[in-house]
A and B are shown apart, each in its own frame.
Chain A
Amino acid sequence: MFKEKLLTMKNKILFFLGFLIIFIIFILDMLYLLGNHDNPFIISAMLYIFLVMYKKISSKATFFFVLFFLFFMGASYIYRGPFRTTERIGEWFYIFFLIGMIQYAYESFFLYKNKK
């Protein structure tokens, strides 16, 4: 019983740790501290895909992430225009949209076959 609880706790910690790392990478990227390359996207995407597979995260959760990026990008667009930060968030938006889209298509076509 204690062992199971410990395992669940470990899982939860792992889950939140994953999200925290992605969030930190995103913040660092917004502050231009990670340079202008794809590493932040690759690391975050890999980590997120791992979490999706390990924790069976649904597309719904991923699209909440996408929604967060959309709001952030929109706010940046309204206040600053289509400049570097806005576009960088746009890239985050696109990558998570892509992951969410793959999950969503899989769920629609294979898990809920009768949903048109």
Chain B
Amino acid sequence: MCMKLISVHYFLVAFIATIFFVLPFFWLPDGFVDLGGDSGRLYFFDPDSVFKQMFLHQVPQGFGSHMYGILPYVFGLSVLKVFIPSMTYLIAFENGIKLLLSFLFMYLFVIEILSIYRNKKDTFIQFVGVISGLVYVGFITKYGWVKSLETHHYVFLNIAILYLFLKFISTNKFIFAFFLLLITFFQSQNFSFSASPQIFSFYPFALAFLFLYCRYIRNIIIPWRSFVGIFALFVLLHGFHLVPMIATIFDKDSSINNYIFSEETKKNAGLSYFDHNRQSLGKISMQLFQPEYSLQRTIFVFLIPLIGLLGFIKQKSKLLSLIGIFFLITLFLISANITIIGIKIYRMLFSIPGFMMFRSFDEKWHGAFSFFYTLLFATSFYLLFKNKKNFSFFVGFVIIFSILLRILPFLKGDIYRNAIHPSTNIPVVFDIPPGWINSINAVKSLKDDSNIILIPLTFPYFQIFYGNSSGAYVGISTIQPLTGRKDFAGFWDFGVYEKDLLYGLNQEEKQKILQIFSLHNIKYVLKNSDQRIFKNFLGNMLYNDIRLINSNDTYNELLSFFPTRKIYQEGFFELYEISKDIIRPALYIPDIIYSDKNELLYSQSFRSASIDKRFCESYALCYQLNSNIPNLSFYKKSPFEYVYAFTINEDHDHPFILALLEYFNKHWNLYLDGEKLPPIRVNEYATGWIIHPEKINKKGEIYGVIKLEIQKYFVYGRILTVVGIVLMFINLLFSYKCSKRNY
């Protein structure tokens, strides 16, 4: 009888897990996808290209490098795509795995921690595990992670890692640590810079809980040495993204460093944002009653908090008190609005470097809070009903029903039935238009490395195109991730020239617009002439109030400013090439130099440049048309290395500038005549060097290289990762041999 009951529970677990895995396959119609948004999920479309471009184009100039950790995951998708070629099913598979593993690992974890009371195979313990798994799934569906950030894998990852870690501590078997490390490696993006909030909100509390639980409740002696070894292996394994990230964090000029340590950022981007959010999102009731996005307010909202609380009344338990403490801490952090003193303390926390990552507190603490809330529920449920099993099944099924009712919109895939904001109700899911695929291939086939602009231009940096039959893509530009070519899809991409471009377009100043394109080495234009975009996307995304860019016809008028030729057309997609006479090459020697950006923008020369006033004055470089500039030729060896050659004659005695149209980075170094020259900022955003011909010993043709030196950290990181992988497998082999010998 007992065996039968056990098998019924295993069947129940398998049944629920299967349902969770299969459900997402019904969310999207066949052939439809949702790839848009801020973070982009183009790796579902072409993981090979995304992997290749990410591997080759790592730039640790700030936020550019933070998604580098996604490489192993994209590699995994590449392999998976061989077996699941359909993009729709690949997305469904990923969502199914997320749901299934979240449920399964919470179920296993609850059984494991409750094993202090009874045998793991006990029917009641198994039942508590199943309900807790469902409660957890109910919590984690709150933020609609199916279409959100890559780092939302934490919903299953956190609990999986914790479970494996607990097994490792309790059994001291390396195999658990091996799988733990392997999972973290393939989910490296969840341990990268952009996942910092999820990491720092969950792991310090969860690991502290785990150690206290093992030490004081299960009386296990923590294998600290093994733990340090595992941590070292983890660092080695993740070296490929951690090393460049750490190097960037400690680079005082990097935007990451500025983001973390600047007082200005802490105050404006951190505290102001927090205070603003606190008013509308800092709600204890919303966290305690956990409504779904449909905001149902039924009697069922009582169930989980009530059971969580009754356990404290029913029985004294060390485990419950430990969980209760962590639950209260995370409830305080996620609510962010508990008493005025509490708010003051919370605000003080923002003076800690990096704490401003929790400014969206309700979202960032959600992983930790739902974890402890589920454990609180599970332990209380067990203590309450351990002697009333029949009644517990009734309560359990009511809870299951209430959860399913609450998350029904999520389970039905309603998140995919949303419309793009702001638009005239255009669905977020779309079927891939063949014209877009072919335009990507056309861009891939372009010979040189010049940059490309996408039309229509948007705010801030989105590409828009319609699906073949319905829906549309609105998200990060698809060109750079898939082709590797630097693109300009929106006004933010123009950095310091954003306002100048807007002003130039508004005033229809042809020369200014040409200069901005030229200064950014934009030689190609990919135009989407779909008139629906202008009609159906509302708000200021397309700057409809500027005449020159508010329709397909006016964009044609804009293009007539340029000497262009059409090199490709299919469907709505047209590819143009701008004459190289007006486009500055990636590396050039300016014929005239200004100290003011405005003078540069109205300059008649398309080889001019601007530098800081002090360099102008120190070397008398500015405002003289230099007709005697050396002939320059160059070769782009990689995105981080240029080989150049120019000829210096006896009559070249005046300093000149070598301008490189890559974002300024102090680690771009030019090697000339055995000497390393530090860069200066040119054209307000790019990199350049002052060359003094009189200091060069050798005359005639001179060769040299320009290198972005900070790239070495990527190499160091990759070496560490390889060492980590090797050590991990050696360890596995040794542990296997040892276990065999012991056996």
Contacts and interface: CB of A to CB of B under 8 A. Distances in A.
Q: Which of B217, B318, B337, B340 has the most CB of A within 10 A?
A: B318
A96 to B, nearest CB: 11
B318 A108 contact: yes
Interface stretch (A9-17, A20-28, A87-95): A87-95
Interface in A62-116: 63-64, 66-67, 70-71, 73-74, 76-78, 81-82, 86-87, 90-91, 93-95, 97-98, 100-101, 104-105, 107-109, 111-112, 115-116
B110 to A, nearest CB: 15
Main secondary structure of the interface of B (DSSP, over half): helix
B284 A94 contact: yes
A104 B337 CA distance: 25
B209 to A, nearest CB: 13
Nearest to B332: A94
Secondary structure class of chain A's binding surface, majority of residues: helix
Contacts of A97: 328
A104 to B, nearest CB: 5
Contact of B312 (A63, A93, A112): A63
B124 to A, nearest CB: 16
A38 B340 contact: yes
Interface centre among A63, A90, A100 (most CB of B within 10 A): A90
Nearest to B311: A63
B516 to A, nearest CB: 48
A78 B297 contact: yes
Contact of A87 (B116, B305, B321, B337): B337
Contact of B318 (A73, A74, A87, A115): A115
A94 B328 contact: yes
A90 B284 contact: yes
B297 A105 contact: no
Interface in B294-319: 297-299, 301-302, 305-306, 309-310, 312-313, 315-319
A17 B30 CA distance: 69
A116 B319 contact: yes
Contacts of B322: 105
B301 A78 contact: yes
A54 B283 CA distance: 34
Interface string B279-300: 0000111101100000001110
B181 to A, nearest CB: 31
Contacts of B325: 101, 105
A41 B343 CA distance: 14
Interface string B431-474: 00000000000000000000000000000000000000000000
A37 B340 contact: yes
Contacts of A90: 283-285, 288, 335, 338
Contacts of B320: 104, 108
Given A94-B332, A109-B318, A115-B315, A78 B339 contact: no
A67 B302 CA distance: 11
A97 B287 CA distance: 15
Interface bin, chain A: 35 or more
A115 B285 CA distance: 32
Contacts of B335: 90, 94
A70 B285 contact: no
Contact of B299 (A38, A59, A78, A111): A78
A60 interface: yes
A112 B332 CA distance: 28
A82 B301 contact: no
Contacts of B3: none
Given A91-B339, A104-B324, A116 B309 contact: no
A67 B216 CA distance: 29
B640 to A, nearest CB: 51
Find the residue from B288, B313, B317 having the highest chain A CB count within 10 A: B313
Interface string B147-158: 000000000000
A104 B117 CA distance: 19
Given A63-B313, A74-B302, A91 B338 contact: yes
Contact of A104 (B116, B306, B321, B332): B321
Nearest to A75: B302
B341 interface: yes
Contact of B285 (A41, A73, A101): A73
A80 to B, nearest CB: 9
A78 B309 CA distance: 19
B317 to A, nearest CB: 6
A105 B313 contact: no
B600 interface: no
B482 interface: no
B321 A70 contact: no
Interface of A: 36-38, 41, 59-60, 63-64, 66-67, 70-71, 73-74, 76-78, 81-82, 86-87, 90-91, 93-95, 97-98, 100-101, 104-105, 107-109, 111-112, 115-116
27 contacts: A59-B312, A63-B312, A66-B309, A67-B306, A70-B288, A70-B302, A71-B302, A73-B284, A73-B285, A74-B302, A77-B285, A77-B297, A78-B299, A81-B297, A87-B337, A90-B285, A94-B328, A94-B331, A94-B338, A97-B328, A104-B321, A108-B320, A109-B321, A112-B316, A115-B317, A115-B318, A116-B318
Interface of B: 116-117, 216-217, 283-286, 288-289, 297-299, 301-302, 305-306, 309-310, 312-313, 315-322, 324-325, 328, 331-332, 335, 337-341
